[in-house]
Structure 1
Amino acid sequence: MEKQLTIAARNHQLTNINVWTADSQWLVYDVRPSQSSFTGLTLERVNLSGESEVLYTACHGAHVGVVTASPTHPQRYLAIHGPEYPEQRGHYDFHHRRGVVVQGGVAHTLDACDITPPFTPGALRGGTHVHVYSPDGRRISFTYNDQVMRERDLREDVRNVGVAVPLGAVRTPRRHPREYDGSHFCVLVSQTTSAPRPGSDDISRAYEEGWVGQRGYLRADGRRQYSALAFIGDTRNENGDTVAEVFIVDLPLADAEFAIAGAYPLQGTPARLPAPPAGITQRRLTFSHRRRWPGIVNQPRHWLRSAPDGSEIAFLMKDEQGVVQLWGVSPCGGAPRQITRSKWSMQSAFSWHPQGGRLAIICDNSVMAVEAHSGEMQRLTIRSDQPPGSEAVVWSPDGRYIAFLRQVDGWQQIVITDAH
């Protein structure tokens, strides 16, 4: 049975993951008028009784959005924050935004910014987006766009995936109005190029990442890899066409290892993006170039999501009939597994049940629960004339509810349904 939680005459936006507090009692959201309009002023939360409260209010011309909750700290949140005093510091853009940790009504900047050479290790040179805590609440993933490369050559500003680790505050010289300090040590973990070689594993873009497993995954040799991120990478096929594939990076166990530079400087140079720490290399997991319908689909937009035990990374790809289905691939590689065999295309981002075994997704204009092993689908909401929102279909940590978005009287509202 559905229950509508928000009733105000305005839009409510859920992020695609970590929208529930750890006790499964509150949902966090922002009030942007649409996904593409970053003009919301507040971050808020609503409980299962429909009572809401403001978590944070932006000021000085800034806006906030895309809020997520900590899986371990009941009063800690992450969000995107736009620039204050935008007339002087630059208006909101992919490379003009930052992550913040919100606690007690205060926003603490997550990622330091230093755009004046020589750059600062642990600081970035642009904007971060969709900040998500790792399952243990220590590390934070994000996507990133670089201002320095954008100003050098627009084609060199390619999206990447990064990680913030708690190694202490990063201080910058603040030689420019757009420079600031941050609470975490931030690095990029993906490697991209503006000119991928056709038929190679080179990628021009890394995005829509997800943490692998609650405690990582088991490698092929039986050892546990405790921290890893999966993401979508845009490759080029032999004809030079863009084909999105699944990639993974294994991350160090110790936070201090993120501060060890590899072949290139962590902080980048005026002619090069920031580089991953030593020992971090990305692996390609899917090879779909020669399929009839190659590549991970970008409509609906979705993020890679791993089973809680780390055994499988789920994604959306068309079957041989051109129907968008749920698929899974092992973090160790191998052939992907088709999970659903639906006559209707999948219509949304998705999430796993917190104990695994099932996924929640929109299909045939309904919220569906999918059995991961068999692909059997159970309709949890009535079929509506218009599908629920595609942005977020998120299981609560206790497994009792699924939160999603639905248009009600012209406004996007937060709705939950019983997941049993």
Structure 2
Amino acid sequence: MTEKQLTTDARGHQLTNINVWTPDSQWLVYDVRPHGGSFTGSTIERVNVETGETQVLYQAKDGAHVGVVTVSPDEPARYAFIHGPENPDALWQYDFHHRRGVIVSEPAREQAVTLDALDITAPYTPGALRGGTHVHVFSPDGSRLSFTYNDHVLHEHDPVLDLRNVGIALAGSPVTSAKQHPREYDGSHFSVLVSNTTPAPQPGSDDINRAYEEGWIGQEGYVKADGSRQRRALAFIGDTLSAEGEKHPEIFVVDLPENDADYRKAGDKPLQGTPETLPAPPAGVKQRRITFTENGIATQPRHWLRASPDGTQIAFLMKDHNAVVQVWTVSPNGGEPVQISHGVQGIQSAFSWRPDGKSLALICDNSVMRLDVQSGEMQRLTPRSDIAPCADAVVYSPDGRKVAFMRQFEGYAQICVADSD
């Protein structure tokens, strides 16, 4: 078991839960925050896993804060992250519905290009959004990004209507905002929501009032039950209500169009939304409920749904019959979940797949562990410690040789790596 601490200075160093490695497996990207729950960092940085060299990739200005950075899977590397508002004031400051996604590309890192346009003045603009985006994750081919979303327009009207949703941003289709409000801006991508929520789910139904913790399914999608291949799809957690009215988080899947032009076609509601309704998914994008569990899947520890590279399994956390949090998988086509881990100690963290699809990296019994998906056996990659590594991120490198994670040292999260074998 070998472990290496990469950062040492007295600042919090925050890894995102996935896509934190450059494609060559040489650098880890992070933001600088006292802890994951704050959003006060002003730089996006990276550290070399061999030399320990650090570089500032982006410096925010005018009182803005930045964080939650991910990397594209292709070269030259592109870095996507949250950007808070410049010159914040009493009416417009960082919040779930007041943030945007930006991309910084190699080698010209100085310019951050805004990816999601903002238009908060009716009648709104198709392809623009009316609020804030979060956790921008590139698709396996790098052509688009997923994100979670909150809506400024409905937040101002009635915060209860500002429901968390999942969306995607498509490259190659810039969107121009009418800019009738001083906070509106253009975007480099065409952005749409792909989840469908309602503020009042029918108990015992497939209605949800929150969509979150999404993940792309497969490097090349997945094979449907009829043998055809679905090229692009997302899995996410949706909060249903049981017949008794209790919250039941379940797994949902949305199959996405192959043709980018199809994202411009509205369904029975406007893509851009109305003053009373959220932006709506394009025509042909339908969400399916995949799990029908007895008590809902686990939401603590916080984790994001992660599909195997071949797209056959969606991994998630759920308690077993002993109330211990375990790793389970389910097919994107539905069916009964399969329990993968069987430990006495519960899973303590988010997780990621090794690129060969044979194992998951996670934290259990205060160690970084490798979980063999076929046998269910766990192997320690780091010694057991009195305090567990941080739960937010345990991420395999693209070459599968290392795992990145964080530990608390003297009150600050520091970035570490362990060998995966």
Taking structure 1 as the reference length, the TM-score comes to: 0.98
* CA contact 2:34–2:412 (8 Å) conserved in 1: no
For residue 267 of structure 1, give the secondary structure of its aligned residue in structure 2: coil
CA distance in 2, matches of 1:172, 1:404: 39
- Which residue does 1:93 correspond to in 2? 95
- Which residue does 1:5 correspond to in 2? 6
CA distance in 1, matches of 2:42, 2:195: 32
Residue 256 of structure 1 pairs with residue 261 of structure 2: yes
Deviation at 1:89, TM superposition (A): 6.1
- Which residue does 1:347 correspond to in 2? 348
- Which residue does 1:202 correspond to in 2? 207
- Which residue does 1:15 correspond to in 2? 16
- Which residue does 2:141 correspond to in 1? 136
- Which residue does 2:326 correspond to in 1? 325
Q: For 1:3-402, list aligned pairs within 5 A.
A: 3-48=4-49, 49-87=51-89, 90-103=92-105, 104-288=109-293, 291=294, 294-402=295-403
Question: Which letter maps to 1:251?
Answer: L
Deviation at 1:409, TM superposition (A): 2.9
CA distance in 1, matches of 2:272, 2:115: 16
CA distance in 2, matches of 1:398, 1:224: 26
* CA contact 1:72–1:137 (8 Å) conserved in 2: yes
* CA contact 2:361–2:370 (8 Å) conserved in 1: yes
CA distance in 1, matches of 2:91, 2:184: 9
Q: Deviations over 1:6-49 (max 9, x none)?
A: 11111100000000000000000000111111100000000011
Question: Which letter maps to 1:20?
Answer: W
CA distance in 2, matches of 1:69, 1:9: 25
CA distance in 1, matches of 2:261, 2:103: 21
CA distance in 2, matches of 1:209, 1:69: 17
* CA contact 2:23–2:77 (8 Å) conserved in 1: no
Deviation at 1:260, TM superposition (A): 0.8
CA distance in 1, matches of 2:41, 2:306: 27
Deviation at 1:152, TM superposition (A): 1.4
- Which residue does 2:412 correspond to in 1? 411
Q: Deviations over 1:158-181 (max 9, x none)?
A: 000000012421001101122110
* CA contact 2:19–2:70 (8 Å) conserved in 1: yes
Total equivalences in the alignment: 416
Question: Which letter maps to 1:239?
Answer: E
Deviates more, 1:186-195 or 1:79-88: 79-88
CA distance in 2, matches of 1:9, 1:178: 35
CA distance in 2, matches of 1:140, 1:410: 33
* CA contact 1:167–1:255 (8 Å) conserved in 2: no
* CA contact 2:298–2:319 (8 Å) conserved in 1: yes
For residue 275 of structure 1, give the secondary structure of its aligned residue in structure 2: coil
Unaligned runs of 5+ in 1: none
Question: Which letter maps to 1:51?
Answer: E
Deviates more, 1:198-207 or 1:85-94: 85-94
Deviation at 1:407, TM superposition (A): 1.1
CA distance in 1, matches of 2:240, 2:417: 37
Deviation at 1:384, TM superposition (A): 0.1
* CA contact 2:35–2:412 (8 Å) conserved in 1: no
For residue 89 of structure 2, give the secondary structure of its aligned residue in structure 1: helix
For residue 263 of structure 2, give the secondary structure of its aligned residue in structure 1: helix
Q: Deviations over 1:153-203 (max 9, x none)?
A: 111000000000124210011011221100000000000000000000000
* CA contact 1:82–1:98 (8 Å) conserved in 2: yes
Question: Which letter maps to 1:83?
Answer: P
Unaligned runs of 5+ in 2: none
CA distance in 1, matches of 2:78, 2:91: 27
CA distance in 2, matches of 1:416, 1:379: 13
CA distance in 2, matches of 1:111, 1:89: 21
Deviates more, 1:295-304 or 1:87-96: 87-96
CA RMSD of aligned residues (A): 0.8
Question: Which letter maps to 1:186?
Answer: S
For residue 395 of structure 2, give the secondary structure of its aligned residue in structure 1: strand
Question: Which letter maps to 1:189?
Answer: V
Q: Deviations over 1:231-275 (max 9, x none)?
A: 000000011110100000000111111111111100000111000
CA distance in 2, matches of 1:88, 1:71: 38
Question: Once superposed, which parts of structure 1, at least 4 consecutive aligned residues long, lie more than 3 Å away?
Answer: none
Deviation at 1:112, TM superposition (A): 0.2
For residue 383 of structure 1, give the secondary structure of its aligned residue in structure 2: coil
Question: Aligned residues: percent identity?
Answer: 64
